[in-house]
Amino acid sequence: MKRIAVLPGDGIGPEVTEAAVKAIKKAAVKYNIDISLEYGKIGGIAIDETGSPFPETTEALCQRADAILLGAVGGEKWNDLPSEKRPESGLLSMRKKVGTFANLRPASIMPGMEGASPLAPRIIGDGFDILFVRELTGGIYFGEKGVSLSDDSHIAWDKMSYSEMEIKRIARMAFEEAFKRRKNLVSVDKANVLKSSRLWRQTVENMSKEYPSVKLRHMYVDNAAMQLVINPRQFDVILAPNMFGDILSDEAAAITGSIGLLASASLRADGKGIYEPIHGSAPDIAGKDIANPIAAILSAAMLLRHAFGEEKAASSIEAAVYKVLKEGKRTLDIARENEIPIGTMEMTKEIITRM
Ligand code: IPM
Ligand code: MN
């Protein structure tokens, strides 16, 4: 029996997670996968009910699960809390405690979605297919932080540091992924300014000797941000430190047409992982049945593939999503002026019936 911890979270999290759960249940029946689903609380809802954004009961649930399916966390209501009490810190604690140091974020133009990209057709060409490998449990997100308040001037700091061990394990993941794909790896850093980036670059460069067939390039993060919009087709796998990867993967999501389409897996070395849409909790559209469930549904596919090795079940979900998009079904975020959008539940139903 495979145990899935389901953490819907806040905002549109519960709606899109329910869509993902429906896809998993259908796949489980169709492909004979023995699963159990156990629900837990994280983020704002956990703060309201327990006082903590990542309560111990949720941590225990995550530790005993084989995979974690997450919605999204955060919202206006909790914005004034100190940073360590905010919903986001629940997500960061979970990543750190489960130890998922590698965040895989595929960003590609899906079939029939070329027109939804904000980039010009001459730049999009026949589409791009990028895999971000973002470091997730180190760097500036987890460095020493502090504030010093005095009468005439306040100071606040966040330290960015990386150990060679942290860089090596994420770099290995990126080389392995690149090896399985088009063997083209770009490592992002700011080595012209930052010491931690110098170590990053040197460590990645050293590892490239073990992967002679993978073509490695180093790119400064500012240039990478620019290259993504002027020539996204040059990229295959992009390796990035935590914060640079956070920023660039949102940019990449936007140029695919909608952040509502992209899934992610956060993995540790033994393959255990957290599966979640890369979009946030979007409180402004929560509860209105207009959120795009596709990113969450595709996260369910990633879960079945990476956590359980159920390739057929995963592909059946992905194929159903592509089919529905190809047929022109659109939620509000991806509908153009002449298209009539369908709701979260209807989109989910359309996908499930095609699995
Ligand atoms: C993401 C999110 C998180 C991050 C936030 C919610 C802490 O933006 O998963 O990309 O910055 O990692
Ligand atoms: Mn982000």
Helix orientation angle between 195-207 and 164-180, rounded to the nearest 10 degrees = 50
Residue 274 near residue 94, CB atoms below 8 Å: yes
d(CA 296, CA 302): 10
Alpha helices by DSSP H, listed for the chain, are 13-30, 44-50, 56-64, 87-98, 121-124, 164-180, 195-207, 221-230, 242-256, 294-306, 311-326, 344-353
Nearest ligand to residue 266 Cα: 1
Q: Which of 141, 162, 211, 275 is catalytic?
A: 141
Element counts in the chain: helices (H) and strands (E): 12, 12
Best mutation site among 246, 259, 279, 299 for ligand 1 pocket (most ligand atoms within 8 Å of CB): 246
Looking at ligand 1, which residue's alpha carbon is closest to its atom 12?
A: 246
Query: Is residue 97 flagged as an active site residue?
Result: no
d(CA 256, CA 252): 7
Which atom belonging to ligand 1 lies closest to the Cα atom of 103?
A: 9
Q: CA torsion angle for 212, 213, 219, 224 (degrees, to 10)?
A: -160
C-alpha 246 – ligand 2 centre gap (Å): 5
C-alpha 195 – ligand 2 centre gap (Å): 24
3-class secondary structure, 238: strand
pLDDT in tens, 254-292: 999 888 999 999 999 888 999 999 999 999 999 999 999
Roughly how many angstroms between the first and final C-alpha of the chain, as a whole number?
A: 22
Q: Which amino acid is at 269?
A: A
Q: What does the pLDDT profile of the chain (355 residues) look like in tens digits?
A: 999 999 999 999 999 999 999 999 999 999 999 999 999 999 999 999 999 999 999 999 999 999 999 999 999 999 999 988 999 999 999 999 999 999 999 999 998 888 889 999 999 999 999 999 999 999 999 999 999 988 888 999 999 999 999 999 999 999 999 999 999 999 999 999 999 999 999 999 999 999 999 999 999 999 999 999 999 999 999 999 999 999 999 999 999 988 899 999 999 988 899 999 999 999 999 999 999 999 999 999 999 999 999 999 999 999 999 999 999 999 999 998 889 999 999 999 999 999 9
**Separation in Å, CA 220 to CA 130, 160, 193, 226:** 17, 16, 10, 10
* Bridge partner list, 87: none
Q: Which of 48, 77, 145, 222 is catalytic?
A: 222
Query: Is residue 39 flagged as an active site residue?
Result: no
Q: Which of 220, 246, 329, 333 is catalytic?
A: 246
Ligand 1 neighbours, Cβ below 6 Å, are 88, 91-92, 246
3-class secondary structure, 287: coil
Query: Is residue 250 flagged as an active site residue?
Result: yes
Query: Is residue 80 flagged as an active site residue?
Result: no
C-alpha 168 – ligand 2 centre gap (Å): 23
Best mutation site among 42, 84, 92, 105 for ligand 1 pocket (most ligand atoms within 8 Å of CB): 92
Give this prediction's pTM.
Answer: 0.95
Query: Is residue 272 flagged as an active site residue?
Result: no
Residue 9 near residue 20, CB atoms below 8 Å: no
Instruction: List the one residue out of 299, 306, 300, 242 whose CA is nearest residue 270.
Output: 306
- What is the 3-state secondary structure of 46-77? HHHHHCCCCCHHHHHHHHHCCEEEEEECCCHH
Beta strand 35-39 pairing with 184-189: unpaired
